[in-house]
Amino acid sequence: MFLLRVHRAWPALVAACLAAGCEPADTENPAPIAARDVSQPAGWNDDLAMPVPQDLNPDPNVLEIELEARIADVEIVPGTKTPAWTYNGTLPGPMIRGKVGDRVIVHFKNSLPEATTIHWHGLRVANEMDGAPGYTQEPIPSGGEFRYELELRDAGTYWYHPHTDSSAQVGRGLYGALIVEDPADPKAFGDDLVLLLSDMGLNEQGELLPADSGGNFGDLFGREGAVLLVNGKVLPTLKVRNGKQQRWRVINATRARYYNLRLRNHRFMRLGGDNGLAARSEDIYNLILTPGERADAVFTPADLPGTQNVLRWVPTERGYGSTYNRSSEPLLAIETVTDAPVVPEAIPAELRKIEPIDVSAATQRTLDLTIAIASNVEMGVNGVPYWQAKPFEIALGSTEVWRIVNNTDFSHPFHLHGYFFQVLDENRVPEWKDTVNVPTKSELTIAVRFDERPGTWMFHCHILDHAEAGMMGHLVVRDPSAPQPAVTAPHAHH
Ligand code: C2O
Ligand code: CU
């Protein structure tokens, strides 16, 4: 600890020189090496590589891919095979990556033994592409196909996952990253690294635990798998060079687990999250992500050359029993190469102009997140599970303010489909979000503008066990000038 502190206080160039083994006499006026003049260590992200899909379309602004959901054996516990549910046979599924303005065409085939759909979490897609079963499309049966077409309108870090029997299907491995780049982003943010976090419940033979493991308590608490994965691997290694920045795009693709990421001797510069950049960068110690949420942050390696460190999962309070008797867990090994340190780049303080939503004429609503425990656990919004819920009727172009109240013993990550919202809280750096934590015994207020894309959209708790237990609802945005769309009756997907 003492040595590390001393090292951090030294000018980086002296440390650089010592690490390179040069004589003190040579250090009088050496030109500092700037991070922009060096590259990441060779093979820095090899262990974290995710498959990329083959692009079938020659147009550089169109990504056209095939995606097949199927069961495939993957090695997670060394020496065993796990029959995971996958996209294209890999865990996670392929990383879909484009730039703002691109179009993505997905030829999807369902080769699972059950029906499924794909939801493009966070993307402002056309309503009929949202993957909400019973609302925007019928579930795609086993053996069925569906063509999704998405416009990448907003830079940011997103992901895709099924929306039928979602806790079970996501828990078995169905998820992938979807990144929308903004070519105008400052280079100072560093080299891009996507970290898709997930967990799995496995036995020693590598077999998946049943999707209903833990019974009612599993529904109530939310099912956390004991095996922690980063980009589909247990404790992979990332190579870094002191001072050479990396832009981490972190995605929480678990069913129920909250992440608090900590790295000894380091802080992070948070850039934003769900919908790309926030208004300002923020120097933080804990990177916290609820299920479904994303974080975008600059990591500046500060460990001595030739040393090891570990990014850890630290228990986070999310209600009853969530931190009791639990210790931290290693997630990602960080190896600082022996190359001389470099001088990091300055991260801009102001990142993006975010105009507050005008709420002066907004419709107010209260959404009370509720749990009823009888013979089984039934969750809901305003006391009603999704299979009995009536939609909120919303006129196209209107703005709403929702007070989201949580008097239950658990925290709930609230997620809205189709629209970004702003949390009305002066203590937060302004940003656009699609998923926000509503801590146990608390409430918060969000503002949403239903300005386009009429249709039926869902909202729910992103602890997927809670969603499936009823904590979901939907709304219908109607265009008064258009013929009224027929509302499909919600279905239960158990
Ligand atoms: Cu990522 Cu409806 O969810
Ligand atoms: Cu919940």
- For residue 461, which ligand has an atom nearest its CA? 2
Closest CA to 450 of 408, 412, 393: 393
Query: Is the per-residue pLDDT at 22 higher than 80?
Result: no
Q: Looking at ligand 1, which atom is closest to the CA of residue 161?
A: 1
Top-confidence residue, 1 or 241: 241
Place of tokens 């703005």: 399
Distance, C-alpha 359 to centroid of its chain: 28
Q: What is the mean pLDDT of residues 393-399?
A: 97
At residue 326, what is the residue type?
R
Q: How far is the CA of 134 from the centre of ligand 1 (A)?
A: 14
Place of tokens 């279905």: 491
The whole-number pLDDT of residue 17 equals 44
Query: Is the per-residue pLDDT at 18 higher than 70?
Result: no
Q: How far is the CA of 163 from the centre of ligand 1 (A)?
A: 7
pTM of the model: 0.92
Q: How far is the CA of 387 from the centre of ligand 1 (A)?
A: 17
The rounded percent of the chain whose pLDDT value lies above 70 is: 91
Q: What is the pLDDT of residues 246-292, one digit of tens each?
A: 999 999 999 999 999 999 999 999 999 999 999 999 999 999 999 99
Q: Is 20 left (phi over 0), alpha (psi -120 to 50) or beta?
A: alpha
Cβ atoms of 158 and 123 within 8 Å: the answer is yes
Q: What is the pLDDT of residues 366-383, one digit of tens each?
A: 999 999 988 889 999 999
**Residue 486 neighbours by CB under 8 Å, 6+ apart:** none
What is the CB < 6 Å shell around ligand 1?
A: 119, 121, 161, 163, 292, 415, 417, 458, 460, 462
Question: Distance between CA atoms of 213 and 376, rounded to whole angstroms?
Answer: 14
Q: How far is the CA of 379 from the centre of ligand 2 (A)?
A: 8
Q: What is the pLDDT of residues 469-483, one digit of tens each?
A: 999 999 999 998 887
Question: Distance between CA atoms of 245 and 181, rounded to whole angstroms?
Answer: 18
Q: What is the mean pLDDT of residues 106-133?
A: 98
Question: Backbone phi, then psi, for 249, in 5-degree steps?
Answer: -110, 105
Query: Is the per-residue pLDDT at 492 higher than 60?
Result: no
- For residue 133, which ligand has an atom nearest its CA? 1
What are 277's two structure tokens?
A: 């950049």
Ligand 1: residue whose CA is nearest its atom 3: 121
The rounded percent of the chain whose pLDDT value lies above 90 is: 86
If DSSP codes are grouped into helix, strand and coil, which group holds residue 189? helix
Q: How far is the CA of 461 from the centre of ligand 2 (A)?
A: 5
| b/e map 257-291, b = 16+ CB within 10 Å | bbbbbbbeeebbbbbbbbbbbbbbbbeeeebbbbb
The whole-number pLDDT of residue 356 equals 97
Q: How far is the CA of 41 from the centre of ligand 1 (A)?
A: 36
- For residue 471, which ligand has an atom nearest its CA? 2
- For residue 159, which ligand has an atom nearest its CA? 1
Q: Looking at ligand 1, which atom is closest to the CA of residue 132?
A: 2
Q: How far is the CA of 273 from the centre of ligand 2 (A)?
A: 20
Question: Distance between CA atoms of 125 and 119, rounded to whole angstroms?
Answer: 10
When pLDDT is cut at 50, 70 and 90, the band that residue 486 belongs to is: low
Q: How far is the CA of 121 from the centre of ligand 1 (A)?
A: 5
Q: What is the pLDDT of residues 398-437, one digit of tens each?
A: 999 999 999 999 999 999 999 999 999 999 999 999 999 9
| b/e map 48-83, b = 16+ CB within 10 Å | bebbebeeeeeeeeebbbebbbeebebebbeeeebe
**Residue 91 neighbours by CB under 8 Å, 6+ apart:** 74, 76, 84, 173, 229, 232
Q: Looking at ligand 1, which atom is closest to the CA of residue 467?
A: 2
Query: Is the per-residue pLDDT at 21 higher than 80?
Result: no
Q: What is the pLDDT of residues 294-323, one digit of tens each?
A: 999 999 999 999 999 999 999 999 998 888
Q: Looking at ligand 1, which atom is closest to the CA of residue 458?
A: 2
Question: Distance between CA atoms of 200 and 254, rounded to whole angstroms?
Answer: 8
Closest CA to 372 of 477, 224, 216, 487: 216
Query: Is the per-residue pLDDT at 24 higher than 80?
Result: no
Ligand 1: residue whose CA is nearest its atom 1: 121
Place of tokens 């994303």: 294
If DSSP codes are grouped into helix, strand and coil, which group holds residue 445? strand
Q: Looking at ligand 1, which atom is closest to the CA of residue 163?
A: 2
- For residue 117, which ligand has an atom nearest its CA? 1
Query: Is the per-residue pLDDT at 393 higher than 60?
Result: yes
